[in-house]
Amino acid sequence: GQQLNQSPQSMFIQEGEDVSMNCTSSSIFNTWLWYKQDPGEGPVLLIALYKAGELTSNGRLTAQFGITRKDSFLNISASIPSDVGIYFCAVSGNTPLVFGKGTRLSVIA
Amino acid sequence: SQTIHQWPATLVQPVGSPLSLECTVEGTSNPNLYWYRQAAGRGLQLLFYSVGIGQISSEVPQNLSASRPQDRQFILSSKKLLLSDSGFYLCAWIPGMTEAFFGQGTRLTVV
């Protein structure tokens, strides 16, 4: 099946710091998605990217669809305690939605 | 509006016992439904998906099975649970192969 390489696997940051995480694939995809999972809950969609090179923001979150269509990154600015959780990238193509292994974010107040 | 229900929320089962997790969707018809498993601290592993009644696709051969007896019902089952079946199971509805709507999840502990 398709493999997504998501990094870093985990991050510990101070409140107020900026965060950056990325996701890469060996295959080309037409849609990249970023989800957040709060502890004990199902993931929720944060940002959807449909066009290569597209840069999209959602509040303090910014995500970009790589120009090669093989990668994407997610930035979080001025982190706050409620940013804690697992962030997943996902891709959509001719196969069911595939998720990366996630980046676990911990925010130290 | 569409709603996805999943139960039970938590389950503790002995090794060798059967399993049945249920997922239902409201507010839509002929939904594409998915079962994912998340091991502790790990990513989401796609187990099964279904595009219609009686249609099941399996992504990973294992000790589990799935059924779609009704349009808006998706069931995950096992005849005999293994310790390695422990995890957080998530049902999802994915319209149009983009945004996924997840249920609240079932935390299964096999003891």
* Of residues A60, A46, A57, A58, the one with CA closest to residue A90: A46
CA A23 to chain centre: 7
Provide DSSP, B16-39.
T--EEEEEEEES-SS--EEEEEE-
Closest C-alpha among B48, B86, B85, B84 to residue B67 = B48
Is A58 in contact with A49 (CB distance < 8 Å)? Answer: no
* A50 Cβ contact list (under 8 Å, min separation 6): A30, A31, A65
Q: pLDDT at position A86, please?
A: 95
Tokens 């911990």 identify what position?
Answer: A106
C-beta atoms of B98 and A92 within 8 A: yes
Tell the burial category of B64 from Cβ atoms under 10 Å away from its Cβ (0-12, 13-18, 19+): buried
How is residue A53 annotated by DSSP? Answer: T
B68-103 pLDDT, tens digit per residue, is 999 999 999 999 999 999 999 999 998 876 778 899
User: Is A83:A75 a contact under the CB 8 Å cutoff?
Assistant: no
**Residue-level pLDDT at B40:** 73
Minimum-distance CB partner of A88 among B44, B46, B92: B44
Q: Which 48-107 residues of chain A touch chain B by CB within 8 A?
A: 48, 88, 90, 92-93, 96-102, 104
Residue B33, pLDDT score? 93
Q: Judge whether B108 is closer than 8 Å to chain A, CB to CB.
A: no
Distance from CA of B66 to the nearest CA of A (A): 16
User: Higher model confidence: residue A11 or residue B42?
Assistant: A11
Question: Measured between CB atoms, does B56 come within 8 Å of chain A?
Answer: no
Using the Cβ of A31 and the Cβ atoms of chain B, whether some distance falls under 8 Å is answered with: yes
B3 confidence band (pLDDT: 50, 70, 90): confident
CA-based nearest residue in chain A for residue B45 = A99
Question: How many interface pairs between A and B have CB atoms less than 8 angstroms apart?
Answer: 60
pLDDT tens digit at each of 109 positions of chain A: 568 999 999 999 999 999 999 999 999 998 999 999 998 888 999 999 999 999 999 999 999 999 999 999 999 999 999 999 999 999 987 667 888 999 999 999 8
